[in-house]
Amino acid sequence: MRQENTVDTSTNIEFVTEIMEFSRFGALSQVFVIEALRRYALQIVISRARTLDIPGIPRDTWFALGEEIDAKLLAKYGVYRTIKT
């Protein structure tokens, strides 16, 4: 039997903190979240946000945000190199 969904009332910061700190996979969840940020920020920077349609947020603002987060990730973790398979 399916249970009813309840609305989570935690803040975004509390929610992300829970994802990063309380996973059955331990610290690997932090790697996952940082990798997701890195990939999405890079995707926005590369696409120059041309293909995005975020209601209420101008494309230029979304692009600038992607650039900002990408720069912060680069400053903290350095250049990311992928392994080609």
Distances (CA, A) of 40 to 4, 5, 14, 33, 83: 32, 28, 21, 11, 18
In a domain, 39, yes or no: yes
pTM value?
0.74
pLDDT given at position 21? 94
Query: For residue 34, is it within any domain?
Result: yes
pLDDT digits (tens, 9 = 90+) for 45-71: 888 756 677 788 888 888 899 999 999
- Specify the residue for token string 């910061």: 13
Residue 37 covered by a domain: yes
The burial class, CB within 10 Å (0-12 / 13-18 / 19+), for 70 is: buried
84 belongs to a structural domain: no
pLDDT of residue 1: 56
Domain count, the chain: 1
Per the structure, the complete domain to which residue 43 belongs is given by 12-77
Mean of the pLDDT values across residues 3-23? Answer: 88
Q: Is residue 1 part of a domain?
A: no
